[in-house]
Amino acid sequence: MLDSLQHTPKHKMRTYMTYSKLSLDLSKYQLENSSEIIIGKDVLAESANILAPWMDSDTHLHIVSDTTVSKLYLNRLKAVLYRNFSNISQTILPCGEHTKSPETLQMLWSDFAQNELTRNSCVISFGGGVVSDTAGFAASTYLRGIRYVTMPTTLLSMVDASVGGKTAINLASGKNQAGTFWQPSFVIADTSLLQTLSAQDIEEGFAEIIKCAVMADKTLFSQLLDHAPLGSNLAIHEKNLDWLTNIVITCVNIKKTLVEQDPFDMHGVRIRLNLGHTFGHAIEAASNYTLPHGHSVAIGLCMMGRISQKKGWCSKETADAIENCVRAYNLPTESPYQSEELLAYLKRDKKRTDHALNIIVPKSIGTSSVMSVSFETLSDLIKLA
Ligand code: GLY
């Protein structure tokens, strides 16, 4: 699946003292591409230096961004990259979940061809999860796969979408129904960029962060409750940005640990990252993507908490704590859709097997488990939510 030539460094990698660097190491699976994940305030300014040891200065870099991010930051990124690279082109996508479509994929392939990208080129996704999912899919399939770097600009994509190599588009039948696994060679997450996010974008990121805490990290959950009164102003003050940078590092570490054990989501380990997503994806699709991903995940998380409590799999304190934390970050807790409507989407969930669906159940704050349930059981469970 992976081209070893793509990932051979030309010379030893520099160290970046002021940023946190994590390595997502897949070498034990004989996968040559591991991701270097660099997280920190103002790390965008270092992006050319980070990439330079891995690519010749005439490597063609093709940036894929969206209309919002490109207006704010594209000129800054290109000015930095031009210090070490001479051949840079770009595609700017419309914002919004509807961009994750077969038509956009086709358009990206055409743009890659028109810009004469080769197997030596590198696609850089510069935006949120919509951009990285779609650009990653295009990069993984064009010429059977070219190098790929993610530069996430939203909180949600920093803690989840940009890390771990899942790419996807949506089909009429549901969310993320077509996609590939294609690890980015680098994830460069500049947390200073979070300062221009809307309150809704920050809230969406917190849905994934709360998910991480409920799933695997009790200490993170306590930290979230302690900071909750600051609400969505979190990114604006320097001290909060430091806190948020550490939260991003914590969540990426949790994700890295699970992805390293189960990169292709086949062994019941990585799937835990989908806590809240089973119902969340169904709600998002039922709303025709008018309800944002993070908000749908928050509702899905609360639904799983309520089900878990009513089945005796977790305590009332745990279910209440999940809901209180979700509310504290201004996120919704109740589904606007009836269970019958959601069941139709659940039947198309990627986590289904022939007759069952894997659900992720919170057991207590910081622990969760995977259960395989039949569709009959699922239709009973969803009525408890
Ligand atoms: N977003 C879930 C995963 O990467 O597996």
DSSP output for 225-277? HHHGGGGGGTTTSHHHHHHHHHHHHHHHHHHHHHHHH-TTS-SSSGGGGGTTH
- Residue 231, pLDDT > 70, answer no
Mean predicted lDDT score pLDDT of the chain: 90
Q: Is the pTM of this model over 0.95?
A: no
Which range, 15-24, 25-34, 301-310, is most confident? 301-310
Residue nearest ligand 1's atom 3 by CA = 273
Q: Which of 76-80, 101-105, 196-200 is least confident?
A: 196-200
User: How many angstroms separate the CA atoms of 351 and 365, rounded?
Assistant: 23
Residue 273 Cβ inside 6 Å of ligand 1? The answer reads yes
Measure CA 117 to chain center.
Answer: 26
> Looking at the predicted structure, is the pLDDT value of residue 56 above 50?
yes
- Examine the pLDDT at 12 and tell me if it is beyond 60: no
Q: Which two structure tokens, joined as six digits, stand for 322?
A: 């999940």
- Ligand 1 atom at shortest distance from the alpha carbon of 166: 4
Closest ligand 1 atom to 273 CA? 2
How far apart are alpha carbons 259 and 163 in whole angstroms? Answer: 9
Query: Which of 255, 260, 262 has the most ligand 1 atoms within 8 A of CB, as the residue to mutate?
Result: 255
Which value, to the nearest 10 degrees, does the dihedral of the CA atoms of residues 81, 83, 84, 85 take?
60
CA 56 – ligand 1 centroid, Å = 32
Q: Name which of 93, 123, 120 is nearest 107 in CA terms.
A: 93
Residues contacting 372, CB < 8 A, separation 6+: 353, 356, 357, 358
Measured in Å, residue 79 CA sits from the centre of ligand 1 at 32
DSSP state of 229: G
Where residue 217 falls among pLDDT bands split at 50, 70, 90? very high
Cβ atoms of 208 and 160 within 8 Å: the answer is yes
pLDDT at 236: 67
The rounded Å distance from CA 154 to ligand 1 centre is 16
181 alpha-carbon distance from chain centroid = 13
Q: Is any atom of ligand 1 closer than 6 Å to the C-beta of 350?
A: no
pLDDT at 377: 92
